[in-house]
Structure 1
């Protein structure tokens, strides 16, 4: 997200509840009173019309907790308002709000039955009262009611899609965190297994020869000291490597990832609504191993940021050669660079990896939405 872009305004739940109530009340009550007085109906009819208009608007206060009963009550009040003089009174705007709210909140059957029965009763009652409505009026009103149902269904579909998307993003974050814990455990196991097993063997030898051959026991103890120091250095190297601190002089014993491992990384990051594709335009050429490892780690961190901090549905990893540089590009269609610094640690780690390899990192918001990460690394590694 660009730094100068204002955050999207999201009204509070209370405000979203009150807006239809206030709007319907302010429109229905004054217009109903004005039309009734203009038509010169009796005081009883005026009182009934205004009371129905006010009651239908206030009934919307229960739309969130009881959407089904609310649409039933508003439909009954709308039916009564149609039958109270004057015949050409204004329609109650509370009914469209009640229909849309009920359908959007899953009370579709309540809305269908309530509105259907009320509308059929209104048409039949108008015929019995010798005030049969014109077919155009019936058709237009019916079309308006159908439109309200369609709007409610559209909102319901969007709400369901948003809820599913939130669930997918939460699951993706949990999956990445589990994979990260497994990766740390695997790295530490690979580093410690050799050293500790050798220490166990040498300590057994030392104990066995301690009394008979003290010189041999001394050699075993010296070997244990060397192995333990090496093991500690390797553990520090792994922990520093996992933190993104590649200034650590030692390296883990596990094989370092190369560019050939990127397709597997892209496949592992795909799933739960995210598709990661890989494009190799090197034509079989390959830079030195250290450059490949740096490029892999940059792609890994960029995809981790996509999964954790971006509502992306697709990402593309592309590697290419431009003159004497390896160019790595990761593009997604998510929400862009976070303005609150949520992904700051990952971005800083990518910059550090690129600098250690003698290259640069560029991050930008894509024109159509999303983020583009471009790393340019010297093909032959950092200059001495």
Structure 2
């Protein structure tokens, strides 16, 4: 409901949360005025309730004032305020003017206590308060024990505890929903970061495979060219041509892999690496040009259709890495 408040009231609401004593002081003043005005009503008349002409007794005014003043600290010390308000109410019921509704302050204090505690404690304290007040009113009060005002105390205390427990439950529910939303948001962010890290690792592996493969070929062909440069220039030129093709192929694969990092709205950015098993012949050709005898044996074609892009790329990289290691460590022999 707070989200639907007019903008002009949001500042007031924030101030009330930051300074709870201010609203509680206004509430205490309002309750005091209500109790004093209510004490002028006299329900004990033969012709029915009517407005009394005499003011309340001095003791009743003092008790109403003390009970109302205790409400100023109701959020800081809910248990202490409840004890003070209940004590004032009990004294009023025993010795004061039965017209003074001090029990109103006790009901508000009991409501505040129920808001700030758990349900079992709230109901236990509520029943204890009700038993004490009703017992004092019946045993020592100026009214007969069967007076309706005595049994009305049960309604006041029960209603205060019920409303306070309902407000506490609603606040706890809202807090739990907000915490759940915050956890869900954190989980989504962590999942996004994890996926980004995995994608970076995959791209780094692809770059490693591409660079290692082609640099190994370039190194071999450059060594061949340097070795035969003086005696067989034609073979040196052929080796340099292989170097050129290997470097161009490396640049193409690097461009395709790095293109994955472009914005998705860029039409020139490929959506997946171009390398795959369909390019095995080109891959093996680069190693044959480097002097490594390679023979490709393919099994029967699979009936499941084309491989997924990730599996296709992984198989290509496995073959590429294996041949690169052979070229680097075993040589063309």
> The residue matched to 2:113 in structure 1 has which SS?
helix
The Cα of 1:125 is off from its aligned counterpart by 3.8
- Name the structure 1 match of 2:106: 95
- Name the structure 2 match of 1:61: 72
- Name the structure 2 match of 1:212: 224
Which deviates the most, 95-104 or 4-13? 4-13
| TM-aligned CA distance change 1:190 to 1:115, over 3 Å | closer
The Cα of 1:180 is off from its aligned counterpart by 1.8
- Name the structure 2 match of 1:104: 115
The Cα of 1:114 is off from its aligned counterpart by 5.3
How many matched pairs?
240
In 1, Cα distance between the equivalents of 2:90 and 2:98? 12
Q: Decide whether the 8 Å contact of 1:198 with 1:227 is kept in 2.
A: yes
In 2, Cα distance between the equivalents of 1:39 and 1:122? 26
The Cα of 1:173 is off from its aligned counterpart by 0.6
> Unaligned stretches of 5+ in structure 1?
256-384
In 1, Cα distance between the equivalents of 2:159 and 2:172? 20
- Name the structure 1 match of 2:172: 160
Tell me the C-alpha RMSD between the 2 structures: 3.3
| TM-aligned CA distance change 1:56 to 1:235, over 3 Å | same
- Structure 2 length normalisation: TM-score? 0.61
In 2, Cα distance between the equivalents of 1:158 and 1:32? 34
**Does residue 94 of structure 2 align to residue 75 of structure 1?**
no
- Structure 1 length normalisation: TM-score? 0.54
In 2, Cα distance between the equivalents of 1:116 and 1:5? 37
In 2, Cα distance between the equivalents of 1:32 and 1:194? 87
> The residue matched to 1:134 in structure 2 has which SS?
coil
- Name the structure 1 match of 2:215: 203
- Name the structure 1 match of 2:290: none
> Unaligned stretches of 5+ in structure 2?
43-51, 226-238, 275-333
Larger Rg: 2
In 2, Cα distance between the equivalents of 1:73 and 1:109? 22
**Does residue 68 of structure 2 align to residue 86 of structure 1?**
no
The Cα of 1:163 is off from its aligned counterpart by 0.7
**Does residue 35 of structure 2 align to residue 23 of structure 1?**
no
**Superposition pairs of residues 1-384 of structure 1, within 5 angstroms:** 6=6, 9=9, 11=13, 12-13=16-17, 14=20, 16-29=23-36, 31-32=38-39, 38-39=53-54, 45-46=57-58, 48-106=59-117, 112=123, 115-126=126-137, 127-128=139-140, 131-213=143-225, 215=240, 216-236=242-262, 240-241=263-264, 246-253=265-272
Which deviates the most, 129-138 or 48-57? 129-138
Could you say which structure has the higher helix fraction? 2
The Cα of 1:33 is off from its aligned counterpart by 7.9
In 2, Cα distance between the equivalents of 1:21 and 1:172? 42
| TM-aligned CA distance change 1:93 to 1:220, over 3 Å | same
| TM-aligned CA distance change 1:180 to 1:17, over 3 Å | farther
The Cα of 1:95 is off from its aligned counterpart by 1.7
Could you say which structure has the higher strand fraction? 1
In 2, Cα distance between the equivalents of 1:91 and 1:142? 14
